[in-house]
Structure 1
Amino acid sequence: MPEPARPLRIAVVAHVFFPALWPELAAYIANIPAPFTLFVTLPEGSTAEPLIRRTHADAEIRYVPNVGRDVAPFLSLYPALAAFDVVCKLHTKRDGLLHREWRLECLKGVLESRGLVTALLAAFAAHDDLLLAGAADLYLDGPRHVAGNLPMLHRLQDPLPTAYGFFAGTMFWARPALFADLAPRFPAAAFSVHRDKDGHLEHALERLFGARAATLDGIVALTRPAPAGRTVDIVPAGSGTARRFSHIYHFKLPLRHAPTAPLTHLPLGALHEAIGFIQRLQKISANRRAARRAALDASTPAGDTSA
């Protein structure tokens, strides 16, 4: 992989709502092959700081109100993030459809290996208009996935671009400048406490991050799984190349169960797309299991019948 053309000032932001998932996050963060500053946001009252310090003693830890999921804590850091060239945004995602596979695909899309991270940093160094990077399989078509967020989106930006994508799950690499005028507009007080899956400020901002990249005529790096390691494709942010998996936020579906009554309110086309998304995650999971079995077989000496 090519080395970065010039040194970049790198920040990593991790919102740790579920401390049990921190070791997993830390293992992926270890794939960053260059110096970086780690910012960790914790909900007020969290007791996770000793766990964070165990692996990253010099992390800058901020306690934040428990609103806005991972989006509000991220924006609250902007004054500090302005000093960096790139930022990797992470969080301990646990909710949502097939949450473990979704979370792992988010993480692998940005930090799967040192080689991938080196390639992404080189791309940011070489392309000043590269604004976002993440997993291609989670880069969704914005206009097709507004769900209940269209009124809020129009209040945030009007007009919206006709074509844009966004990273479902809000884990990505980005230029901090992309958020420069959003951070002061949306302090923690702008967010509300709720248990809804859609239609709130953080859900609209998730999409707006991608829409802003298109409005600024930026480009996006999309990483895709491949046998020899992830590939990186760079596309215009407004190219309309994003995937179409409608309504994936609106329900939970167990991995091995067929759709049941709670899904009957969905349009047939949306239901088919949602099932397609589930099948894609199933395939990712099966491929990972097969790779683990192959690695185990390769490491077992011939004739070894031990358990």
Structure 2
Amino acid sequence: MGDWTRPADTFPEDGKRLLIYVVFDRRGEVGDFVLYALEHLRAFCDEIVVVSNGPLTAKGRERLETVGDLVLERPNEGYDIWGYKHGLDAVGERVASFDELLLVNDTWFGPIRPFGPIFDRMNAHPLHFWGMTDHLRVEPHPFTPEDQDYLPYHLQSYWVAVRRRMFTSPEWQAYWRDLPAMKTYSDAVTKHEGIFTQHFTQQGFSGEVAFPTLTDKIENHAVLYAEQLIDAGCPTLKRRPFFQWPVFLDRVAVIGKWTLEAAERNGYPVELIFDDLARNVEPRVLNADAALLRVLSPTDDAYDPAKPLRTAVIAHIFYVEMTDEILDRAGYLPGDVDLIVTTPERERADEIERIVAARKFPGRVDVRVVASNNGRDQAAFLIGCRDVLLSDDYDLVVKIHSKKTPQDGANVGRHFRRHQFENLLAGPHEAANVVALFQQQPGLGLAFPPTVHLGHPTMGHSWWANRPGVAELCAELGIRVPLDEVSPLAPFGSMFFARPQALRLLVEREWTYDEFGGAEAYVDGGLAHILERMPVYAAGELGFHSMTIATPAYLAKSHTAFDYNLDQMSATMPEDTQHQVQFLRRAGYIGWGRFRDFVDMWVRLHRPDAADRVDSLFARTEGVRGGLWRARQRLRRR
């Protein structure tokens, strides 16, 4: 690449390398994956300068100082590029004492494969600069087609190494001196990443890429072919495949689970990946991108009896006649299991105790009469069992309750109950396999059935009126996990497996029964329904990820219904799912197909600039119509 007119050097055997590493953490706390990467880069770098785009907490700075020689903080402006500039300015003329400069940011996990072979290979090449991965030329330009004909071929800016002949040149100094402001992601691409390679090669500097594009397709190979790059020896795994829009990944058939398996197969501690993603990615997006649904085998057990988990079943029983079923389900769990039962009245408690005594439940049983049935199972769990959840006596809790859903039709209520019980605690093998997930994954916080949809209009609507309350409660509790845009990832029905530590943010807050209100408050927008949608976000803030679990028998019903329903909804729309979703998003809310609804959709699709004027016109028209209707009614009354 380039005209090769300038002399170029290999990296000397006794050469010195400077790393400028830019990190961004919305909490200022710094993820473990960053420390892991820097610890492994230390063997190849004589000096490490870490630049934080945004303020650090005291703990965050302390952690970075264990792996960096100099830690700098700056405002989160100009993306990683201006972070690189800040680091270069701080090093100043000392940069000339190094043989190679590494400009690297934190948008990747690694090393997935060892760094050594890459440095050995690239050290031996006479060149001026090199990158880890590249991007083919794109025509027309995806960001500024009206100003530029194409996006040039370029090395991706998350990892660029530069040799001394280039970073001590007047051209290099002029480039960084005249670096333009960058206020948007588009600016970062068009004003630096997309032009850096072409700018310097046109001036006679030579560059190479360690892992060239794998196919002739114009795609972001570092994101879409991450698994194949790992197999080729690439040490860096971009974070983007795990927060990219799932609909897009579906269209290009990128399977995040295969990429994770490749990382794990090569020895990378994937818990570092999940710790980062759980804190920073919408949970439902992560669930889809990383395929975090586990199908529970009804025969083979992955459970390790040599590593039992101290388990408590916390069951709220309002319908005493369901006590036997709850005892049956609790009995499926492996190892020693305690049962804590909550119920709102002494009479119910006495009957429950008689049933439990007759059944001779093997573990410890504690039947508690809660002070109020306000908030039902939610309040009984967070208030009536707060001492249990904060005690550190248990490694795992299973929250269940006597569910009948009498307000829905008989079939709908029966299905919802079976959806909960038969996915959570279908039998001894299935229950043991859920516990095995917690044995195998120390960062797993919750496991619960997928979103119920048979008989329920949850798809696309399951925030209902609860999102504002969830956002308010997240702000109160310091939860900064991004909320899902369309529907939350949540244990609808409020039954789940959980590590008590993952629920700390919810449990440590002291709730009162009055906050939940009476039966009339058990509606969307009420505290109980808000809390039903909170556990995954609360767990994610502490670095715990969540999974959905289902049995083959349930998926046989669920998937076939999904398959048919999607086929029906796609029949009148163009092309693939991504284009269909994008089309519908541009069209906006369909409403009930009234004339007004169709006009609004047409305007949003074809004349979005006129939307406000059309809304104003309809408002005036409806005002006139309303006035005429009221006048007509007055005449009738006369």
Q: What TM-score comes out, normalization by structure 2 length?
A: 0.34
Aligned partner of 2:395 in structure 1 is: 85
Q: Aligned in 2, Cα 1:191/1:46: closer, same or farther, shift over 3 Å? A: farther
Which one of 491, 496, 513 corresponds to residue 172 of structure 1? 496
Which one of 545, 548, 557 corresponds to residue 219 of structure 1? 545
Does 1:208 find its partner at 2:514?
no
How much does 1:142 deviate? 10
Ranges of 4+ aligned residues in structure 1 off by more than 3 Å: 137-144, 214-217, 266-269
Q: Aligned in 2, Cα 1:268/1:8: closer, same or farther, shift over 3 Å? A: farther
**How many angstroms apart in 2 are the aligned matches of 1:136 and 1:211?**
16
Letter paired with 1:30: G
Letter paired with 1:43: P
Letter paired with 1:161: P
Q: Aligned in 2, Cα 1:21/1:181: closer, same or farther, shift over 3 Å? A: same
Which one of 327, 333, 342 corresponds to residue 26 of structure 1? 327
Does 1:122 find its partner at 2:432?
no
Aligned partner of 1:236 in structure 2 is: none
Aligned partner of 2:474 in structure 1 is: 157
How far does the alpha carbon of each residue in 1:20-48 deviate from its partner, in whole angstroms, 9 at most, with x for none? 11112222122112111100001134433
**How many angstroms apart in 2 are the aligned matches of 1:106 and 1:94?**
11
SS in structure 2 at match of 1:8: coil
Contact 2:377 2:401 survives alignment (8 Å): yes
User: In the TM superposition, what are the counterparts of 1:44-59 in structure 2 within 5 Å?
Assistant: 44-47=345-348, 48-49=351-352, 50-56=354-360, 58-59=364-365
Does 1:67 find its partner at 2:374?
yes
**How many angstroms apart in 2 are the aligned matches of 1:148 and 1:12?**
30
Q: Aligned in 2, Cα 1:109/1:267: closer, same or farther, shift over 3 Å? A: farther
Aligned partner of 1:295 in structure 2 is: none
**How many angstroms apart in 1 are the aligned matches of 2:591 and 2:468?**
21
Contact 2:451 2:458 survives alignment (8 Å): no
Does 1:8 find its partner at 2:312?
no
**How many angstroms apart in 2 are the aligned matches of 1:37 and 1:90?**
13
**How many angstroms apart in 2 are the aligned matches of 1:211 and 1:32?**
26
How much does 1:268 deviate? 5.5
Does 1:148 find its partner at 2:465?
yes
Identify the range of structure 1 (155-164 vs 172-181) with the bigger mean alpha-carbon deviation: 155-164
Q: Aligned in 2, Cα 1:9/1:267: closer, same or farther, shift over 3 Å? A: farther
Identify the range of structure 1 (104-113 vs 147-156) with the bigger mean alpha-carbon deviation: 147-156
Q: Aligned in 2, Cα 1:205/1:181: closer, same or farther, shift over 3 Å? A: same
Matched residues, percent identical? Answer: 26
Letter paired with 1:226: P
**How many angstroms apart in 2 are the aligned matches of 1:160 and 1:141?**
22
How much does 1:174 deviate? 0.6
**How many angstroms apart in 1 are the aligned matches of 2:433 and 2:443?**
16
Aligned partner of 1:197 in structure 2 is: 523
How much does 1:143 deviate? 8.5
Q: Aligned in 2, Cα 1:143/1:124: closer, same or farther, shift over 3 Å? A: farther
The higher-RCO structure (CA 8 Å, 6+ apart) is 1
Letter paired with 1:191: F
**How many angstroms apart in 2 are the aligned matches of 1:143 and 1:210?**
18
Which one of 382, 389, 404 corresponds to residue 94 of structure 1? 404
Aligned partner of 1:38 in structure 2 is: 339
Aligned partner of 1:284 in structure 2 is: none
SS in structure 2 at match of 1:138: coil
Aligned partner of 2:285 in structure 1 is: none
Letter paired with 1:225: T
Q: What TM-score comes out, normalization by structure 1 length?
A: 0.68
**How many angstroms apart in 1 are the aligned matches of 2:462 and 2:541?**
18
**How many angstroms apart in 2 are the aligned matches of 1:166 and 1:130?**
15
How much does 1:208 deviate? 0.7
How many equivalent residue pairs?
A: 235
Contact 2:334 2:432 survives alignment (8 Å): yes
Aligned partner of 2:421 in structure 1 is: 107
Letter paired with 1:26: L
Bigger proportion of residues as helix: 2
Letter paired with 1:193: G
Q: Aligned in 2, Cα 1:187/1:55: closer, same or farther, shift over 3 Å? A: farther
Letter paired with 2:302: P
Q: Aligned in 2, Cα 1:85/1:268: closer, same or farther, shift over 3 Å? A: farther
Letter paired with 1:66: N
**How many angstroms apart in 2 are the aligned matches of 1:198 and 1:53?**
38
Contact 2:423 2:550 survives alignment (8 Å): yes
Q: Aligned in 2, Cα 1:198/1:55: closer, same or farther, shift over 3 Å? A: farther
Contact 1:166 1:207 survives alignment (8 Å): yes
How much does 1:154 deviate? 2.2
**How many angstroms apart in 1 are the aligned matches of 2:311 and 2:450?**
22
How much does 1:56 deviate? 4.8
How much does 1:207 deviate? 0.3
Contact 1:142 1:166 survives alignment (8 Å): no
**How many angstroms apart in 1 are the aligned matches of 2:307 and 2:526?**
39
